[in-house]
Structures are given as structure tokens and as C-alpha cells.
Amino acid sequence: MSLINKSFLFEHFAGRTSPLQKKLIEEWLQSEAAREQFYSWLAEWETTFPLYDPELAAPLERFSAYMRTPREAAPAGDLKPAARRSAFTGYRFAAVIALLLAAFAGWLGRDHLVYAHYHADFGKTNTILLTDGSRVTLNANSVLRVPRWTFGNSNRNVYLEGEAEFSVRHLPDHQLFEVHTMDNALVTVLGTEFTVYTREKHTNVVLNKGKVRLSPPARGQSHTMVPGERATIDTGGKIKVEKLTAAQLEAGLAWKQHRFIFDNTPLSEVAERIREVFGVQVQIADKNLAIRTATGSFPAESAEELLTNMSVMYGFEIVKTKKQLQIIPIP
């Protein structure tokens, strides 16, 4: 017979079991009957030693009212359930507000109150029209924060994590538009088109049109860019400037059409790019495969699609596990 009994588990719920005893419980939990028993005791424990005493009558009344309203929207003539429904949704609304406030004010500090957050999820892009008429296209896995109350008052500051193309409107009062990057560098603009990339490794800015000024994090020498340039800020805070060809400029914006352009890019870097854009880990176990380079333009909206498109040319197979993709050379 198992050692596990009610008082044993009560001790466990209260946090008074040793690692060895926890191991016993974990083994015991293998069977479905044991899991049923576990939850039964958990319910009993919470009833016997509650952390607080919640009020039951009012929530129960709200729940009953919720169930009495039809699941689909109530027909217009039917007043009573509609009124009840709104009472309950009102409660839910209030509860959600309370929850949001608690979450925002508490866990996040004032961040979400002060800034509007725009996201592009893995594998997606997101185009945002700011209140001043400037347009921002976010690449996958990127966040743009815009101050809710002060944006456009006397200056325009935005904060970027990830990658985005900006098309900045020139305002009559020549207001500056400033992009703050992850490493606290600053891109200052009057009205122009440019792309900013700012992730863990480095920050870079590609200028298509107009004029921007790039200021490194530590108050080093700032640089005024001319169109067709790419400026990279390395971890030391130094700015490196390269002149891009028309093809390279186009490649830099390929993500807007969900295309990937590689030019002698090692597969290990391709894997890194996939992690940034799709949030998928790609593992290349074979060293020779990892240093092989890829060249070409690949349309893809998912990591698997991209790798499948590349697999024929570079002779590898894709093994899919739950949390990551693995590529292995075809012998």
C-alpha cells in the first residue's frame, strides 16, 4: 500500500515535505486514480485551511445570471436577460479594469500607462500610423513604445526593440523625430525614410531618403547619414558606416514582403535570423553544415517554409521536435 495519505499530502500542500517525499508523491501521481485523489484532497485542504474567506452569494448570483442569458446575443425585444447580461459584463469589465490596473500599476510600474506598446509577433509584420502621420512598419518579434501623452507635443520620441522601417512626416514646426534604440543610441530625424535594427547583438540604421543623425549611447561622435548608407553601432558604442548597393538596400527591406535575402550568409546566421523573426530555435548539429553559406532570395512566412525552400539546394533534412527544428545533412 502506498505511503501517501491525506495528512501526508496536507503537509505537502503546506510546504512541509522534503525533496525525497516530493519524489514519492510525484511517483504516486502517475496513476489517474491518484491524481483524482490528489485534487480531492487539495479541495479539502483549501476548504479546511483557506487563505481567506471569499464571499459566495454575490458571485454565485452573477454566475447564475450569466447562465440565464442566452449564449448568443439576446434578441433586441428581450429586455430582461439583456439587462442582466449587461450587469454581469459590467462586473466583468470592472474586474478586468481592476486586474489591468493592478497588473499595470503593480507589476510593470507605470510603463504601460505612459507608453502605447505596438507589437509584431513572431513571423508577422505590423504597420502603424502614428498620430503625426508618420508610418512605422515593424518586423517580426519587435516592439515599439510611443509615449501616450507627450508624443507630438514638442518632440516625437519613440522606443524600439527589434526592427522597423520608419517613414517620418515632416511637420510644419520642424519637430524632431527621435528613435531610441536598445543600446540607448539615438536616431534623430527631420522627415525621411529609414530602417532601424536594434536587437541584443547590435543596432544598425539604413537610410533610404533624407537625412538622419545617429548618436551613439555614450556621448561619442555623432554621425549624419546620407541616403544609401548603413551605420552600425557595435557593442563598444562606435559607429561604423558602409555604403550599400541598390541590391543591398532592397535586401534590407525584403522582410516587408516576407522575403529573406541571403548573400554568402553562413547557415548558422540564417538560424539566428530565424530565431529573431519566428522565435524558433534551429539547431545545426553538424559543424560543416553550419559554416555552409546561403545566397538567394527565399519567400517564407514560417521557419519551416524557409528551411524547406532551402533544404533542396543545401542538401539537408529538417527534423521537427516539439520546441525546435533541427537540420541535419543528407548523407
Residues that bind other proteins (CB under 8 A): 1-2, 4-7, 12-13, 15, 22, 25-27, 29-30, 32-44, 46-47, 50-54, 56-57, 59-60, 62-64, 66-68, 71, 92, 95-96, 98-99, 102-103, 106-109, 122, 279, 281, 319, 321-324, 326
| Count of beta carbons in the 10 Å neighbourhood of residue 59 | 11
CB of 178 to other proteins, least distance (A): 24
**Judged by CB, which is closer to other proteins: 59, or 296?**
59
Name the minimum Å distance from CB 252 to other proteins: 25
Cα gap 95→12, rounded to integer Å: 32
* Min CB(330)–other proteins separation in Å: 14
Q: What are phi and psi of 261, to 5 degrees?
A: -115, 125
**Would you call 43 exposed, middle or buried from its count of C-beta atoms within 10 A (0-12, 13-18, 19+)?**
exposed
- Of the pair 193, 276, the CB lying nearest other proteins is at 276
- CA quadruple 6, 9, 10, 15: dihedral, nearest 10: 170
Q: Which is nearer to other proteins, 140 or 251 (CB)?
A: 140
With H, G, I as helix, E, B as strand and everything else as coil, classify residue 254.
helix
Q: At closest approach, how far in Å is the CB of 203 from other proteins?
A: 18
Query: 81 with 68: CB under 8 angstroms?
Result: yes
**Which is nearest to 156 in space by CA: 172, 173, 132, 121?**
132
State the distance between the two ends of the chain, measured CA to CA, in whole angstroms.
54
Q: At its nearest, how many Å lie between other proteins and the CB of residue 20?
A: 13
* C-beta closer to other proteins: residue 174 or 323: 323
Least spacing, CB of residue 107 vs other proteins, in Å? 5
Min CB(238)–other proteins separation in Å:
27
Q: Dihedrals φ, ψ of 230, to 5°?
A: -120, 125
Taking the least distance from each CB to other proteins, the nearer of 45 and 314 is 45
C-alpha 79/C-alpha 69 separation (Å) is 11
Q: Which of 319, 313, 322, 304 is nearest to 262 (CA)?
A: 313
| CA dihedral sign of residues 239, 240, 245, 247 | negative
Rounded distance between C-alpha atoms, residue 153 and residue 171, angstroms = 12
Q: Please identify, using beta-carbon distances, which residue of 106 and 236 lies nearer to other proteins.
A: 106
Which of 174/322 has CB closer to other proteins? 322
